[in-house]
Amino acid sequence: MAFALNVLLAGSSVLKFSEINFDDYIFRNIRLSKALTALLCGISLPIAGQILQVLFRNPLAGPYVLGISSASSLAVGIAIMALHTFGVMGYLFFSKTAIILAAFAGSLFCTLLILFVAKKVISNVFLLLIGLMLGQIFGALQSFVEYFSTDKGLREFVMWSFGSLGNSTYTDITLFAGIGIGLIIILFMLTKPFQVFLMGQNYANALGVDFAKYRIYFIVISSLLTALATAFCGPIAFVGLSIPIMTRLIYRTSDQKFQLTACLLLGGITMLICDTLCYTILPDRVIPINVITTLFGSPFIIYLLFKTRNW
Amino acid sequence: MNVKLNIIDLSIGYASKPACWQAGKQTTVVYKGISASFTSGMMVGIIGKNGLGKSTLLRTIVGLQEKLQGEISLDNKALDLLSKHELAKMIAVVLTEKVGGFNLTVTDLVAMGRVPYTNAFNHLEEADKKIIHDCILVCGLNEHTSKPVNELSDGLFQKAMIAKGLAQQTPILLLDEPTAYLDFPSKHQLFELLKKVSKEENKCIITSSHDIELVLKYASHMLILSEENEFEFIETSNYKVSELFKKVTNGYFG
């Protein structure tokens, strides 16, 4: 809560709490909506990351390991270029919606590809490699699109890829919150199979948990959460990978109910802090959120790793 | 609980799904024509060279891979008719693969054995906790309960996995080469433990092993898989040690 307040108070000019006027346009439509977006982003990406890390039993997995962010980046790249080509970029509302839709469509497309592969093959390593390769393909196509893009389009795309929490309207936020929280509730109903996934495929099956079936569920939940965050905020780096690692290093328990809850809380708080830092470090300048999350998060993880002998 | 696990003319191996443009089904038969009957209280050692299908047999029995032909039945009910969940209450398995990481401790690992019995949120009742505690005691792990699983020595890891198998409270326990990386005293300890469990808890324990001397010493029955697809299922007490030894070496050296 305190962090949420911080974000609300810090801005181009720092407000005192008593100065907050809840009817103020800037407060409602910029600061509050931004804080809510940060919170949603900080909740959904770490959960998506934790799901994939447990599924692949590998702490290097993150929400983007299955190529989802590359796919949405590519889609957004194409969308921005197309908008410029047809000269309709200026119409702000239209182009913004187009970008959100493109990002979501790209993520969904990649998710469907991954699901198709997951239905065909049993091996997790195979699936991971396919995901990485898909990511590479989308990345290469994106370079191709960028190469032929106009200067303006390229700049716009680079700005998008920095990630931004400030673009969401309340319709966006309601959508994000509704679907995101719904997915997380479903995940919490599935904590038992999720816990058993720590044992890997063979033991999970031998313990009566249908690995193939639940793997599909978990991939869908994780991918949709990633798709949502990417669509509304751009490719937010790092939190999805790092928060689950952090919670495991800080809270030494294998109980997934606990770990998922910790991911929710720590992720939300971290994003709020990072968003505050974006505004307060340099006077009169806003630093891209991805710069902050990575610059401050990585050293913290390194510190935790050195502090913890076994992990 | 007394159970009877029957295997009739079982063929094991791998059925590889053909790619979508190929017709038919490709199968690799690893071993065929196995028949045996296991009952509670038995301690069965499966012996055979590498690649003859010891692991495949165990994996087939526990439903991790499909049989190619023949029948497996539990108390005269075909095993295929049981759901994964029902099967998990009948057969527990200790495989060769390692688990660990993600802060998984010995207690957490043993608690996994209760999964077939817990509610949808995996809540452990007092009774569950007592069973977990007892299984930890039986396997001599009481000093290591809060240790991360990936910090355990090979011997302790095997014991922890067995404790998990015991916590599953199944009448049948399968083990795939549980003594593989252990030193000599640990191997004996482990078989001693298995023997004790099979007697005291009236469990049917089926374990594959390359440690012939241990199987000869501890097992009540032996399933010898030999090269020519001839197998023998024998009760050790019916034979002299020298005869048994001959049978086993025949299995290994043809």
> Is the dihedral angle over the CA atoms B245, B247, B251, B254 positive or is it negative?
positive
What pLDDT sits at residue A23?
64
Q: How far is A230 from chain B (nearest CA, A)?
A: 27
B87 vs A contacts (CB less than 8 Å):
208
Q: Do B88 and A195 touch (CB under 8 A)?
A: no
Q: Do B85 and A257 touch (CB under 8 A)?
A: no
Q: Do B112 and A199 touch (CB under 8 A)?
A: yes
B97 vs A contacts (CB less than 8 Å):
200, 202-203
What pLDDT sits at residue A11?
45
Please state, in angstroms and as integers, the Cα–Cα distance from residue A192 to each residue in A206, B21, B64, B134, B184, following that order: 14, 39, 20, 23, 38
Distance in angstroms between the alpha carbons of the first and the last residue of chain A: 31
CA distance B163 to B22: 45
A195 vs B contacts (CB less than 8 Å):
112, 115, 122
pLDDT digits (tens, 9 = 90+) for B2-28: 899 999 999 999 877 655 555 566 788
What pLDDT sits at residue B12?
92
Of B63, B104, B116, nearest to A198 by CB-CB distance is: B104
* b/e map B207-230, b = 16+ CB within 10 Å: bbbebbebbbebbbbbbbbbeeee
What pLDDT sits at residue A22?
61
pLDDT at B212 over 70: yes
Q: Do A199 and B99 touch (CB under 8 A)?
A: yes
Average pLDDT along chain B: 90
- The mean pLDDT of B194-203, rounded to a whole number, is 93
CA distance A178 to B145: 42
pLDDT at A69 over 80: yes
What pLDDT sits at residue B232?
87
Which of B146 and A7 is assigned the larger pLDDT?
B146
Indicate which of A56, A124, A199 best probes the interface with B, i.e. most B CBs within 10 Å of its own CB. A199
A253 vs B contacts (CB less than 8 Å):
103
Identify the helix (H) or strand (E) that includes residue B72: strand B69-74
pLDDT digits (tens, 9 = 90+) for B150-183: 999 999 999 999 999 999 999 999 999 999 888 9
What pLDDT sits at residue A217?
94
Of A195, A200, A209, nearest to B99 by CB-CB distance is: A200
User: How many percent of chain B have pLDDT more than 90?
Assistant: 67
Q: How far is B205 from chain A (nearest CA, A)?
A: 16
Token pair belonging to A302: 């390194």
pLDDT-based confidence at residue B198 (cuts at 50, 70, 90): very high
Find where tokens 């780096």 sit.
A237
What residues contact B132, with CB distance under 8 A and at least 6 apart? B107, B110, B111, B113, B114, B124, B167
Q: Do A196 and B115 touch (CB under 8 A)?
A: yes
- The mean pLDDT of B64-82, rounded to a whole number, is 91
What pLDDT sits at residue A89?
58
| 8 Å CB contact between B204 and B38 | yes
pLDDT at A206 over 60: yes
Which of A155 and A29 is assigned the larger pLDDT?
A155
CA distance A272 to A282: 17
DSSP code for B81 = G
- The mean pLDDT of B229-247, rounded to a whole number, is 84
Of B86, B88, B104, nearest to A206 by CB-CB distance is: B88
Of B99, B101, B151, nearest to A203 by CB-CB distance is: B99
Of B85, B105, B121, nearest to A208 by CB-CB distance is: B85
**A53: nearest CA partner in chain B:** B102
Which of B238 and A64 is assigned the larger pLDDT?
B238
What pLDDT sits at residue A119?
79
Q: Are strands B69-74 and B77-78 parallel, antiparallel or unpaired?
A: antiparallel
| 8 Å CB contact between A260 and A186 | no
Closest to A63 measured CA to CA, from A198, A237, A212: A237
Q: Degrees (nearest 5) of the Cα angle A214, A218, A223?
A: 150
**Partners of B204 in the β-ladder:** B172
pLDDT at B98 over 80: yes
CA distance A224 to A50: 14
CA distance A139 to A169: 29
A205 vs B contacts (CB less than 8 Å):
63-64, 84
pLDDT at A29 over 80: no
Instruction: Give the distance, in angstroms, between the CA of residue A178 and the centroid of all CA atoms in the same chain.
Output: 16
pLDDT digits (tens, 9 = 90+) for B44-64: 999 988 888 899 999 999 999
A59 vs B contacts (CB less than 8 Å):
101
CA distance A148 to A142: 10
What pLDDT sits at residue A2?
45
Q: Do B112 and A196 touch (CB under 8 A)?
A: yes
pLDDT at A112 over 80: yes
CA distance A40 to A49: 14
Of B83, B95, B102, nearest to A198 by CB-CB distance is: B102
Average pLDDT along chain A: 84
pLDDT-based confidence at residue A93 (cuts at 50, 70, 90): low
DSSP code for B105 = B
| 8 Å CB contact between A47 and A256 | no
- The mean pLDDT of B203-221, rounded to a whole number, is 92
What pLDDT sits at residue A288?
86
User: How many percent of chain A have pLDDT more than 90?
Assistant: 33
The ipTM, to two decimals, is: 0.93
Q: Do B95 and A203 touch (CB under 8 A)?
A: yes
B86 vs A contacts (CB less than 8 Å):
208
What pLDDT sits at residue B100?
87
What pLDDT sits at residue A190?
96
Q: Do B92 and A203 touch (CB under 8 A)?
A: no
| 8 Å CB contact between A197 and A73 | no
| 8 Å CB contact between B157 and B149 | yes
Q: Do B108 and A254 touch (CB under 8 A)?
A: yes
pLDDT-based confidence at residue A171 (cuts at 50, 70, 90): confident
What pLDDT sits at residue A1?
43
What pLDDT sits at residue A12?
40
What pLDDT sits at residue A13?
44
DSSP string, B164-211: HHHHTT-SEEEEESTTTT--HHHHHHHHHHHHHHHHHS--EEEEE-S-
State the pTM of this model. Answer: 0.89
Query: Reading across the β-sheet that carries B4-16, which strands appear in turn?
Result: B26-39, B4-16, B69-74, B77-78
Of A198, A206, A210, nearest to B93 by CB-CB distance is: A206
pLDDT digits (tens, 9 = 90+) for A254-306: 999 999 999 999 999 999 988 888 888 888 888 888 888 888 888 888 888 88
Please state, in angstroms and as integers, the Cα–Cα distance from residue B79 to each residue in A82, A111, B15, B29, B75, following that order: 59, 36, 19, 20, 9
Length of chain A: 311
Token pair belonging to A308: 């913890």
What residues contact A53, with CB distance under 8 A and at least 6 apart? A59, A60, A61, A62, A244, A245, B102
Q: Do B116 and A57 touch (CB under 8 A)?
A: no
Q: Do A257 and B121 touch (CB under 8 A)?
A: yes
| 8 Å CB contact between A206 and A11 | no
What pLDDT sits at residue A98?
83
What pLDDT sits at residue A287?
86
